[in-house]
Chain A
Amino acid sequence: MTTPLLLAAIGLLALGTVGAAGRSTLRAALYAQAAGTGLLGLAGFWMLTAGTTAGSAFASSFEPRFGVDGLTAFFLGTLGAVGAPALLFAARYLQDDLRGRALGVLTGAFALSLAEVLCARDPLTFLAGWELMTLLPAALILVGRSDAASRHTVFLYVAVTHLAGAGTWIAVLLAAHAGALGGHGALARGSGLQIAIALTALAGMGTKAGAMPFHSWLPRAHPIAPAPVSALMSGVMIKVAVYALVRVLVDWLGVLPLGIGVLVLALGALSAVGGVVYAIFQHDLKRLLAFHSIENVGIILLGLGACLVLRARGADTWAAFALGAALLHTLNHALFKALLFLGAGSFERAVGSLELDRLGGLLRRMPWTGGAFLLGAMAIAGLPPLNGFASEWLTLQALLHVLAAGGIGDGLAGGLALAALAATAALAVLCFVKVVGLVLLGPPRRDAVAAAVEVAAPMRAAVVALAGACVFLGVAPGLLFGRLARLAPWPARAGTAVGLHLPGTGSLPTAGLAAVLAGLTAGLVVLRGRRSAAPAPTWACGQLVEPRLRWTSAGFTKPLRLVLEAVLRPQREIEVRREGGLVRQVSYSGHVPQLLDERLYRPAVELALGAARHARRLQTGRLGTYVAYLIALVVVLLVATRAGVIG
């Protein structure tokens, strides 16, 4: 019953991909893509709810196979939930674009490649989809922009994801060689092979997910893609990497040694805190959002790490809850990050540049997009009663149970992770107060912003639908959470209710909380009454608040920059120009350098380039030298054979 639905959805998506090549059919084709992706998502959620599977199961042989199980169904649902609004948005967004047709074809192909990775049931199909999923966004960025900086960024993106992406190949091929695809308990606990697969998977798929310290491509590549593609990349592509990690670490490898779980916790804590701290100091909206993707992948990894540690400790019930928390946050982040990227795309359409200090007042000028953006910002900041709060609460509870699970070392790791997650949530509030304040509130900061008007209906509908999903999953996360916890490959007991009622917690009746919050707030609004005095100007000790007195992104985050100075090493330059004793001009520039880039990657790149310079001496260009190389090689081989080293 579900197989025809899935095939129809894929068929519609493929039809939309082909149709986008036609000048007159572009818009209809993009609607078809949106409908196909949406149908795919519906089928996914339906299969997750009904607990059915389709197609074949995993096999370690190399014949192409496709299939859908619970985990795949959930991620197909995520793809649909983000892809449908993003492609609907694209239908209007790409319409006026000169390169719209090429971009339309590539977005469809990109969605198809994501579905391929999710549905692949053999190593070859999986890896082929994985490569397509990496290369198609690179092509999309290159078609969309052709300046040298973008080309360099794409080169960096492809280089980093391929160098570290080798880890994915090694992990999948090793697992296939051991016959471990699909689990079957092929690997002994703590065996060298099991640990090797886990570590290579963490490096390869962690890079694709954007986890620190493998993240350096992400904040560069995500912002320069067209808005719907950014939404697909941040919303779905890095989630597909999370899918692969869950598949390998939880599904295939069986029970892992404790150390791997602690390592995942450490990566998660680093990504969460590092991602949000660097996001705070960004002054471009899309770049800031890209850094937040790193933060949220960190939160997902914290849930996953808690799951692995708890599983190693034998606390299976809470291990399943931790897995459910990680998966729920995956969907939640997909929703609000897509919403924020699409909103940023609308703002960019309406006003041009997205430099944070030169926006302002857009909530009043673009009420639909602005209102949805405000909800998305509150959701990503983890505020009740929205979805980010529900999954962060679950992750906090899971980490608390890591503490209670027994060991001293992993308990301490759990405590540190707990503190890191709490600090991350508070930092996200700081960051999104800044974003909301600079983008949506206050007076407009330049003329183009003052003249901004609301975007076209499909673009509005996309963000409003995503905001609705954020509210729905905030009010009723339990409908999904129980099913996600039961996706664990070990027997897990988890009920399905509207709220989150877990043993050993005070339970989070999300619907009740939302109703009480809304009711009390509404009551206070009524009590406040409508009587108000004449509007007064903002108080600034009697001064007028002129444009040059307005607060900036850098100003608002200065206390944090000063507090973290010892760690972040911010750089700043102040130049004062005096004429005849009078200060004529003060120019200020400051930035927070990427420590990992400067301390880890730059030395590595310099080392590699230095080695390459030495190696270049081998290439003389003279025929005689090359003949000598060949003879030397033959002699070495002969000697080695004679000595019995080879053969």
Chain B
Amino acid sequence: MSAASLAVQLAGGFLLAPLLPGLVQHWKARLQGRRGPTPLQPYRELRRLWGKSVVDVEGAGIVYRLAPAVAAGSVATAVLLVPVAARAPALGVGRDALALLGLLALARFAVAAAAWDTGNGFALMGASRDLTIAVFVEATLVLSVAVAALVAGTTRLTGIVAGTAGTDAWSNPALGLGAVAFALVVIAETGRQPVDNPDTHLELTMIHEGPLLEYAGRDLAFLHWAAAARHWLVLVLAAQVFLPHPRSVWEQLAVLPLVLAALCGGLAIVETLTAKMRILLAPRLVGVGAAAALLGIVSWLVQS
């Protein structure tokens, strides 16, 4: 049982992650009346990038060269950290929900520092916006994790998955409010509308795409994979913690692909229905999530 969930975790996180943004793009195109690329398009792009050589920027140094590996390495560590079901052995990196925060911050730091190394104005614009929004995203993420940890009584992720399983945990509004908060974290971390627009290459509106401008070849492949793996991380957490899920590990594993596909569909619908908001309004939107999570905490404290 634990071997199966481990297999799903590793195969899903490392290999199937690019399918998630592919699915979102595919369904978004369908919703907009276009045929659009197949869901496998991210794999094709990764293969194409893999065959190309990297480009060094004049004057840039070791930070620029190491950043994609550091970013992808820390996201890969996070993939090892986040389990897909209530039972999975730890892989030497622990199973703690709050450790996730540090790993995602390391990836962000590496990419933003690389932007300074190249001195590219558009990269820096994206990096500074990304880091500004991250302030609010991290607070919201911690508060929503706190809600789940209160409900489950631990910050061990497998324990959280088990503690929020079934219907009992949902008798209190806390987890529902935490889910609202986490939904906004999902949108911000995956770089989706209304916070960011993954399709645009109009420099003035870019956030996550900005710091990627100077990269090519395998460097860019690493960064694209890291973005896809971030989809995997937050969507798996959403499916296994902040949405109702069954108690039995087998059922959890069986339901997971369906829920992930449904969540991708949900992201596609949100992307189709909303326009990108002004960048400076995004913190307010994410702040609403933080407030919702705080309300969830209060409702839990009042009831217990």
- Which residues of A are at the interface with B, using a C-beta cutoff of 8 A? 363-364, 374, 378, 381-384, 389, 392-393, 396-397, 400, 403-404, 407-408, 411-412, 415-416, 418-423, 425-427, 429-430, 432-433, 436-438, 440-443, 499, 504-509, 512-513, 515-517, 520-525, 527-529, 531-533, 535-541, 545, 549-551, 555-560, 562-563
Instruction: Specify which of A381, A426, A512, A537 lies most central, judged by the most chain B CB atoms within 10 Å of its CB.
Output: A426
Q: Give the residue of B80, B91, B94, B128 whose beta carbon is less than 8 angstroms from that of A559.
A: B128
Query: Given the complex, which residues of A lie within 8 Å of B73, measured CB to CB?
Result: 517, 520-521, 523-524
Q: Is the beta-carbon distance between A533 and B99 smaller than 8 angstroms?
A: no
Q: How far is the CA of A389 from the CA of B302 in the complex (A)?
A: 32
- Which residues of B are at the interface with A, using a C-beta cutoff of 8 A? 53-63, 66, 68-70, 72-74, 76-77, 80, 90-99, 101-103, 105-106, 108-109, 112-113, 115-122, 124, 127-129, 131-132, 134-139, 141-143, 146, 149-150, 153-159, 203, 213-214, 216-219, 222, 279-280, 283, 290, 294, 297-298, 301-302
Q: Give the residue of B91, B109, B283, B297 whose beta carbon is less than 8 angstroms from that of A415.
A: B297
Q: Give the residue of B76, B118, B138 whose beta carbon is less than 8 angstroms from that of A422.
A: B138
Q: How far is the CA of A505 from the CA of B19 in the complex (A)?
A: 32
Given contacts A403-B150, A525-B69, A549-B121, whether A426 and B294 have CB atoms under 8 Å apart is no
Given contacts A429-B131, A437-B117, A507-B95, whether A563 and B280 have CB atoms under 8 Å apart is yes
Q: Is the beta-carbon distance between A427 and B135 smaller than 8 angstroms?
A: yes
Q: Give the residue of B61, B119, B137 whose beta carbon is less than 8 angstroms from that of A364.
A: B61
Q: How far is the CA of A49 from the CA of B85 in the complex (A)?
A: 41
Given contacts A506-B154, A520-B77, whether A441 and B105 have CB atoms under 8 Å apart is no
Given contacts A442-B117, A505-B155, whether A384 and B99 have CB atoms under 8 Å apart is yes
Instruction: Specify which of B92, B103, B116, B136 lies most central, judged by the most chain A CB atoms within 10 Å of its CB.
Output: B116
Query: Given the complex, which residues of B lie within 8 Å of A505, measured CB to CB?
Result: 96, 98, 154-156
Query: Given the complex, which residues of A lie within 8 Å of B279, measured CB to CB?
Result: 559
Q: How far is the CA of A516 from the CA of B99 in the complex (A)?
A: 14
Query: Given the complex, which residues of A lie within 8 Å of B214, measured CB to CB?
Result: 538-539
Q: How far is the CA of A531 from the CA of B283 in the complex (A)?
A: 41
A-B CB contact pairs (8 Å), 17 listed = A374-B63, A382-B105, A404-B149, A412-B297, A412-B298, A419-B139, A433-B109, A433-B113, A441-B61, A505-B154, A506-B157, A508-B94, A524-B72, A529-B54, A531-B54, A536-B57, A563-B280
CB distance from B92 to the nearest CB of A (A): 4
Q: How far is the CA of A513 from the CA of B56 in the complex (A)?
A: 30
Query: Given the complex, which residues of A lie within 8 Å of B134, measured CB to CB?
Result: 426, 429-430
Q: Is the beta-carbon distance between B108 and A429 smaller than 8 angstroms?
A: yes
Q: How far is the CA of A397 from the CA of B73 in the complex (A)?
A: 25
CB distance from A317 to the nearest CB of B (A): 15
Query: Given the complex, which residues of A lie within 8 Å of B150, measured CB to CB?
Result: 403-404
Query: Given the complex, which residues of B lie within 8 Å of A443, measured CB to CB?
Result: 59, 119
Q: Is the beta-carbon distance between A442 and B59 smaller than 8 angstroms?
A: yes
Given contacts A363-B63, A538-B57, A550-B119, whether A400 and B155 have CB atoms under 8 Å apart is yes
Q: Is the beta-carbon distance between B76 and A520 smaller than 8 angstroms?
A: yes
Given contacts A422-B142, A508-B94, whether A563 and B132 have CB atoms under 8 Å apart is yes
Q: Is the beta-carbon distance between B101 and A425 smaller than 8 angstroms?
A: yes
CB distance from A170 to the nearest CB of B (A): 36
Given contacts A383-B102, A384-B106, A418-B143, whether A506 and B95 have CB atoms under 8 Å apart is yes
Q: Give the residue of A374, A423, A540 whose beta carbon is less than 8 angstroms from that of B136.
A: A423
Query: Given the complex, which residues of A lie within 8 Å of B102, measured CB to CB?
Result: 382-384, 389, 392-393
Looking at chain B's contact residues, the main secondary structure is helix
Query: Given the complex, which residues of B lie within 8 Å of A557, measured CB to CB?
Result: 128
Known: A509-B90, A513-B99, A532-B55. 10 other contacts (CB 8 A): A384-B102, A404-B149, A415-B297, A437-B116, A437-B124, A442-B59, A507-B156, A508-B99, A521-B72, A539-B120
Query: Given the complex, which residues of A lie within 8 Å of B143, measured CB to CB?
Result: 415, 418-419, 422
Q: Is the beta-carbon distance between B58 and A535 smaller than 8 angstroms?
A: yes
Q: How far is the CA of A165 from the CA of B69 in the complex (A)?
A: 50
Q: Is the beta-carbon distance between A532 and B124 smaller than 8 angstroms?
A: no
Q: Give the residue of A392, A506, A560 whose beta carbon is less than 8 angstroms from that of B132.
A: A560
Given contacts A363-B63, A506-B96, A549-B121, whether A426 and B56 have CB atoms under 8 Å apart is no
Given contacts A429-B105, A549-B121, whether A532 and B98 have CB atoms under 8 Å apart is no
Q: Is the beta-carbon distance between B109 and A429 smaller than 8 angstroms?
A: yes
Q: How far is the CA of A392 from the CA of B95 in the complex (A)?
A: 17
Q: Give the residue of B90, B138, B149 whose beta carbon is less than 8 angstroms from that of A400.
A: B149
Q: Is the beta-carbon distance between A422 and B280 smaller than 8 angstroms?
A: no
Query: Given the complex, which residues of B lie within 8 Å of A423, measured CB to CB?
Result: 135-136, 138-139
Q: How far is the CA of A516 from the CA of B109 in the complex (A)?
A: 18
